[in-house]
Amino acid sequence: MCGIIGLVGDKPVSYLIYKGLFAVQHRGQSSAGKLTYDGNIHMNKDAGLVRDVFNDSKKIFTPGNLGIGHTRYSTAGMDDIESLKHNAQPEYVINPFLAGVHNGNIYNGYEMRKKTKRTPRTECDIQWLLLPLADYLYGKKIDVDTIFEAAEWLMPQVKGSYSALFITDSGENPLLFAITDPRKIRPLVLGENTNYKCFASETRVFKKINFRYIEDVPGGSAVVIDKEGQIHEKMICKKKEMPCMFEFVYFAKPDSRINGRSIHNVRVEIGRRLAKEAPVDADIICPVPESGRRYAIGFSRESGIPLDEGLMKDKSERSFIQQTQDKREEIVAEGLSFIRSVLKGKKVVLIDDSIVRGTNMRKIVSGIREAGAKEVHVRIGCPPLLAPCYLGIDMRSKREFIARNPDGSLKDWDQIAKEIEADSLAYISHKSLKESIGFDICTGCINFPDGYPPEMREDALQLFNRDLKDRRAYEIM
């Protein structure tokens, strides 16, 4: 999972990209980068947060009326600092000039590597789009029609998820373009103001830079924007869209919309339905900040139990997308405070979006008890996670899920409740999750393998059977 942004206009785009990257920082915290273009390439990227990578004006303000930016959440490569630096995006090639950024996961990368004569410089999935596209465009006059032809050649060969942005130029014709996988697993939207057009992972970017929303880029399409700002769109390989359910549950920010659906409203509705499905006798509802807040609002409205802030977040980093378990636990241990005056003597409903490994939830439940709570009842706005995601969420192994026993069998909720030391535990049902979102979604990680798009299920099973602890199955050949 990553955040991407691309701009083209009649004025320099660098500062707008910089501001936009802050608006998608929550989607990736391992590295950040941007590339602007004015006939010359101006690129800065490194491991770390946006504020750390772009720490002086020379990096923030670079020439060029088109550019792309990226915040990375690692789903490929190693997790040490040198690897994170090495795999930072954007990436580019010369002859022809083509630069790109990618959000998603291409799980047939080993097959795609055979389709290019070029040597990949990184382990990132952007290589399996960038290099074959560059091969196809080599020696051709690059215009809108040529890009559509290249997309028609490439996209049917790629397996997985991708919302990707590219810059190219074959002289006096610089172009910004996007391609999306047929199922539109990862979000991508298009906006504008008087001087610019903008692609971004989430609509919240437009609020931050004062743009107007145009559309959610359709799945399976290629969209090209020329230097005059004209938009050229072509459907390449149409299928029914199935956005990732985890975008609605966790990744997207509450002030964003996906396919017209407010993320805030979806989470409140999930909380409301959760209160009806799993009622509890309690004194207060406490969300895990910030991930549980919208669910807690809905739960409180439906149940009538008052909402209170018994937990306080001290750090801005998101624990789930940290690169290692040690770092995740550090964020939880150092990033939360427990307010004794709120929790002492109370029966508490603790609300969060999901439980993956259970380690963090156990620490939070323990902290609430240490603050004097009489009971802790956990309610979760996502069904139990059961299988790795092969489409852009870094759940590496089937062995890391608390909902599975070591022999692969599934645990009942009471067993999980004991492991996290809660008095009770309940998850939202699959039915209520889907109805809250309101359209078809990819649910492969909670309904394996049937929750995957039909054409991906056999591939997902093969990857699942190849699973090794601490290794991503699609990186093992």
Q: What residues are annotated to the active site?
A: 2
Say how far apart CA 165 and CA 7 lie, in whole Å. Answer: 10
Say how far apart CA 129 and CA 100 lie, in whole Å. Answer: 8
DSSP string, 76-112: SS--SHHHHHHT-S-EEETTTEEEEEEEEEETTHHHH
Residue 434 burial (C-beta neighbours within 10 Å; 0-12, 13-18, 19+): middle
Say how far apart CA 200 and CA 195 lie, in whole Å. Answer: 16
Helices (H), 371-469: 413-419, 430-437, 457-465
List of long-range contacts for 39-47, beta carbons under 8 Å, 24+ apart: 39/169, 40/64, 41/92, 41/97, 41/99, 42/14, 43/90, 43/92, 43/99, 45/70, 45/88, 45/89, 45/90, 46/85, 46/88, 47/81, 47/84, 47/85, 47/88
Instruction: Give the CA distances from residue 141 to residues 144, 153, 171, in Å, rounded to whole numbers and listed in that order.
Output: 10, 16, 9
Contact between 294 and 267 under an 8 Å Cβ cutoff? The reply is yes
Say how far apart CA 157 and CA 131 lie, in whole Å. Answer: 13
In what side-by-side order are the strands of the sheet with 212-216? 41-47, 31-37, 66-72, 3-9, 196-200, 189-192, 212-216
Other CB atoms closer than 10 Å to residue 9's CB: what's the count? 21
Q: Tell me if residue 283 falls in helix, strand or coil.
A: coil
The C-alpha R_g of the chain, in whole angstroms, comes to 22
Tokens of 213: 């929303």
- Amino acid residing at 312: M
Say how far apart CA 446 and CA 468 lie, in whole Å. Answer: 19
Tokens of 215: 């559309």
Q: Which residue has the tokens 């852009």?
A: 392
Residue 454 burial (C-beta neighbours within 10 Å; 0-12, 13-18, 19+): exposed
